Amino acid sequence: MSATFGNRLKVTLFGESHSAAIGIVIDGLPAGMEINEEKIKQAMRRRAPNASIASTKRKEPDIPEIVSGYFKGKATGTPLAAFIRNQDTRSRDYEKTAALLRPGHADYTGFMKYHGANDYRGGGHFSGRLTAPLVFAGSIARQLLEREGVRIAARIQSIAEITDEGSYSFSQLEEAEIKEFAAVDSGAAEKMQEKIFEAHSNGDSVGGIIECVVDGLPVGLGEPFFGSVESRLAHMMFSVPAIKGIEFGKGFELTTMQGSEANDSPVLQDGKVSFETNYNGGIGGGITNGMPVVFRVAIRPTPSIAKEQKTVDIKAMKEAALRIHGRHDSCIVPRAVEVVKCAAALVMADLWLEVYNG
């Protein structure tokens, strides 16, 4: 199993949803880099469940315990390791139906690949629970970028068919971070939340789209083809459970345009090259062009729902029915906003260090 990502800034995830702890090792942080623990706590709180009836009732304190690579408020330059204890597990919810393959989960693929040795409780290593240490590491990477003038913001663009098609400034996107529901338009946010509650009431779930913007990047990060900014971001984003699609700039909308409309024309601003539009999301030939990197990810509906679904009993090898009990989000999009920002920070910090700390 490969649980390591990155070139200059390497991160390795470990743990399972119901194991004693989950955690991460970060290798490549610059020695002497100051780490603000309060910013880490803020990021962890934004990923955590809230008081909404549609949010999971699993309440984990999610306090990272740093055990190496950190001394007197700074990174030492050696691998920084941290773990987060799992304290609110209810493994009995999974033992009763251990042989029943949960629709939409990795139960079948995990069982087959690991010859039945996989930890199925809460999804094991496949669980979205592993995004907690990812947020921890990403919040540190975000601090590394911020000291260089690079900022990251994200918003909820849609929930199910409820969409906010507004075009917003970067500062407006940043303001969404302090909201419990990270949508810019309050009217659209209210309708989105109503949609989530409706799905919850019906024992079902919904997904949505998150838009993320990285501002302040210099020209020249990334490599053509296999090392492109799109490739690296896509690799990371598809490593996050529930993300099923990604687009950059205008994305699929570019297919409806002609070349004369889709091209970002170079212009001069204050003696420097800029671009009249940013339809290609701040990337040209896989390399940052100085414009904001803009991408959107599609988050599927939470697979664990209260409705009865068809499945297979893998031990008895017969078809069966399953109604999932336990504590699950009716929509993980609100919590995933922080995950997407932190995951993007890990990629962009890795790219940054390749050029400026080589």
- Contact by Cβ (8 Å): 276, 298: no
Q: At what angle do helices 333-356 and 131-146 cross, to 10 degrees?
A: 50
- Contact by Cβ (8 Å): 99, 316: yes
pLDDT (tens place) for every residue of the chain, 358 residues total: 578 999 999 999 998 878 788 999 999 999 999 999 999 999 999 998 765 656 665 566 789 999 999 999 999 999 999 999 987 666 666 666 788 888 998 889 888 898 988 878 777 788 888 999 999 999 999 999 999 999 999 999 999 999 999 999 999 999 999 998 999 999 999 999 999 999 999 999 999 999 999 999 999 999 999 999 999 999 999 999 999 999 999 999 999 999 999 999 999 999 999 999 999 999 999 999 999 999 999 999 999 898 999 999 999 999 999 988 766 789 999 999 999 999 999 999 999 999 997 4
Task: Provide the CA 249 distance to its chain's centre, in angstroms.
Answer: 18
Other beta carbons less than 10 A from residue 322's beta carbon: 17
Q: Supply the pTM of this predicted model.
A: 0.93
| Neighbouring-strand partners of residue 295 | 212, 248
Closest residue by Cα to residue 328 from 45, 31, 53, 19: 53
Buried b (16+ CB within 10 A) or exposed e, 172-202: ebbebbebebbbbbeebbebbbebbeebbee
* H/E element, 232: helix 229-237
- Contact by Cβ (8 Å): 142, 341: yes
Q: Binding residue per annotation — 126?
A: yes
Q: Binding residue per annotation — 47?
A: yes
Question: What whole-number distance in Å separates Cα of residue 322 and Cα of residue 354?
Answer: 48
- Take residue 271 and report the two structure tokens written for it: 């003696």
Q: Binding residue per annotation — 327?
A: yes
Domains of the chain by start residue, with CATH: 4-356 (3.60.150.10)
Q: Binding residue per annotation — 125?
A: yes
- Contact by Cβ (8 Å): 64, 140: no
Question: What whole-number distance in Å separates Cα of residue 208 and Cα of residue 194?
Answer: 14
Q: Binding residue per annotation — 335?
A: no
Question: What whole-number distance in Å separates Cα of residue 76 and Cα of residue 124?
Answer: 32
